[in-house]
Amino acid sequence: MKNDLPFYELTYIISGNLPEDQHPPVLEKVSSLLNQAQAQIVLNEDLGKKKLAYPIKNLRHGFYKTMTFYLEPAKLKAIENELKLENKILRFLIIKSYEKTAEEIASEAKAKNKRAKEKIAEKVKEVTSVKEAKLEKQKVSLEDLDKKLDELLDEDVI
């Protein structure tokens, strides 16, 4: 869907001490703010509960939500002001983004798969080298075994 309006991404953190069954009113308020500003919402995603990088208002966890939408730039400031007043939202960030094409999404997935395969190959190589090192330590020549056996047999055992 090609649109002439700029594409934005809003990520916000709902307070961690707010139970999940009380999240819908906050989500509805954010959605209604965007709808009042005549934003065209593309995606509304729940990223789940995560640990914060540092405590905010003595809280260590928060519920992360992300929304992507099209909006006129002049209406962005009003949304930011309203979000600042919402006390159940710890932090928010609105960034100007761009819509990814199918080719970009495919190339990102291909690169991600390639990195994953490289990591797996690296781990396999690491484990193999550790196993080979252990085997090298355990290998003893027959001559060494014969010498040790002769030494043990020569000892006087009472």
Q: What is the mean pLDDT of residues 93-108?
A: 81
d(CA 76, CA 147): 85
The pLDDT score that the predictor gives to residue 63 is 93
Edge-first strand order for the sheet with 7-15 is 40-56, 59-70, 7-15, 89-97
Residue 81: give the domain boundaries. Answer: 7-99
Residue 2 belongs to some domain of the structure: no
Do 82 and 117 fall into the same domain?
no
Look at residue 43 and tell me if it is in a domain. yes
Statement to judge: residues 84 and 120 lie in one domain: no
Band the pLDDT of 139: cuts 50, 70, 90.
low
- Compute the average pLDDT of residues 11-34: 89
Number of structural domains the chain divides into? 2
Mean pLDDT, range 44-59, rounded to an integer: 89
If asked whether residues 21 and 93 sit together in one domain, one would say: yes
Residue 142 confidence class, pLDDT cut points 50, 70, 90: confident
pTM above 0.85, yes or no: no
Distances 93 to 8, 65, 76, 89, 131 between C-alpha atoms, Å: 10, 11, 12, 11, 49
19 and 74 assigned to the same domain: yes
64 & 21 share domain? yes
- Whole-Å CA distances, 72 to 39, 51, 53, 77, 143: 8, 33, 32, 10, 84
